[in-house]
Amino acid sequence: MNTSFDIWQTIRQEVQTAAAKEPLLASFLHLTVLQHENLARVLAFQLSSKLFSSTMDVRALYDVFLRVLENNPEITSSVEADIAACYERDPACEYYFLPLLYFKGFQAIQSHRINHALYLSGRKTLAYFLQNRASEVFGVDIHPAARFGHGIMFDHGTCIVIGETAVLGNDISLLHGVTLGGSGKKGGDRHPKIGDGVMIGANASVLGNIHIGKCAKIGAGSVVLHDVAPQTTVVGVPAKAVGLSKNIPANMMNQMIMVDNDENKQP
């Protein structure tokens, strides 16, 4: 997975094969992928297909997404890294084109990347509009000010909530139902900062302006209210440290807290 050229060509070939095998999808695959000349146009087309509504014209969204992608080439790079993350970490992801076309967690991340650029350029009302549409369509609610690194995977995606001052590093995996929430009715820096390599299990809540250290792991259903040290596994409501890990949890995707604990006992 060295260059953007590779991913785009690989996706085109995968999609051509799929279109030839499945007549019912040929129309969709031509319209969404094969008629386009690069990954950015496919992304703008697919996201506008998802986010338009009876009161927001699909061409208007398509136009604005194309322009953001042209003016922010780093978004397309991050998109490629996120596709690779899905392919490598999710055993159900058999093809590179699947996240682009079918994974709503992936699509929610890319909508946010575009939306964040709009927000930074001063188009806040539009960014709030798109946050709402993504929340309705993907069930993923990300404030447009949240900052994201690359190599991020949202597995399944449904019911993820990420607040205004949250910061995500690189190579992070979030399962569905994860909250990176704030606390209190005042503004300011009030959401979690997530280190590189972290994995957060299904339905876990991380609340307040706390730091989750590099390669930490948060068990499913946990509620985290305090900083977590690097390489540390926490679990429970409220969460407590139960072990250490030497690997990169976001890559391993191991949800088995107990197994993990056995493997990495505290000295």
Question: By CB under 8 A, what part of segment 14-33 binds a copy of itself?
Answer: 18-19, 21-28, 30-32
| Residue from 84, 159, 229, 241 in contact with a copy of itself (CB under 8 A) | 159
| Residue from 83, 90, 110, 119 in contact with a copy of itself (CB under 8 A) | 90
Determine the interface stretch with a copy of itself among 5-13, 75-83, 109-117, 135-143 (rule: CB under 8 A): 135-143
Does residue 201 interact with a copy of itself by CB under 8 A?
yes
Determine the interface stretch with a copy of itself among 3-11, 76-84, 109-117, 222-230 (rule: CB under 8 A): 222-230
* Assigned token pair, 22: 């499945």
Does residue 167 interact with a copy of itself by CB under 8 A?
no
Reduced to 3 states (helix: H, G, I; strand: E, B; else coil), residue 219 is coil
Euclidean distance between CA atoms 110 and 254, whole angstroms? 25
**Is the Cβ of residue 3 or residue 15 nearer to a copy of itself in the bound state?**
15
User: How many whole angstroms from its chain centre is CA 131?
Assistant: 14
Does residue 84 interact with a copy of itself by CB under 8 A?
no
Query: Do the beta carbons of residue 141 and residue 160 sit within 8 Å?
Result: yes
Does residue 135 interact with a copy of itself by CB under 8 A?
yes
In the complex, least distance from residue 134 CB atom to a copy of itself, rounded to whole angstroms: 11
* Single-letter residue type at 74: E
In the complex, least distance from residue 35 CB atom to a copy of itself, rounded to whole angstroms: 4
Does residue 125 interact with a copy of itself by CB under 8 A?
yes
35-54: contacts with a copy of itself (CB under 8 A)? 35, 45, 48-50, 52-54
Report the candidate in 90, 102, 79 with the shortest Cα–Cα distance to residue 174: 90
Determine the interface stretch with a copy of itself among 4-12, 75-83, 109-117, 230-238 (rule: CB under 8 A): 230-238
Q: What is the size of the binding site for a copy of itself (CB under 8 A)?
A: 102
**Is the Cβ of residue 78 or residue 131 nearer to a copy of itself in the bound state?**
131
Euclidean distance between CA atoms 106 and 154, whole angstroms? 6
Q: Which long-range contacts (CB under 8 A, 24 or more apart) does 61-69 make?
A: 64/118, 64/126, 65/114, 66/40, 66/41, 68/114, 68/117, 68/118, 69/40, 69/43, 69/44, 69/114
Report the candidate in 82, 261, 96, 51 with the shortest Cα–Cα distance to residue 168: 82
Euclidean distance between CA atoms 114 and 112, whole angstroms? 5
Query: Do the beta carbons of residue 115 and residue 127 sit within 8 Å?
Result: yes
**Is the Cβ of residue 3 or residue 93 nearer to a copy of itself in the bound state?**
93
Does residue 236 interact with a copy of itself by CB under 8 A?
yes
Does residue 237 interact with a copy of itself by CB under 8 A?
yes
| Residue from 12, 150, 156, 214 in contact with a copy of itself (CB under 8 A) | 156
* Single-letter residue type at 107: Q
Does residue 252 interact with a copy of itself by CB under 8 A?
yes
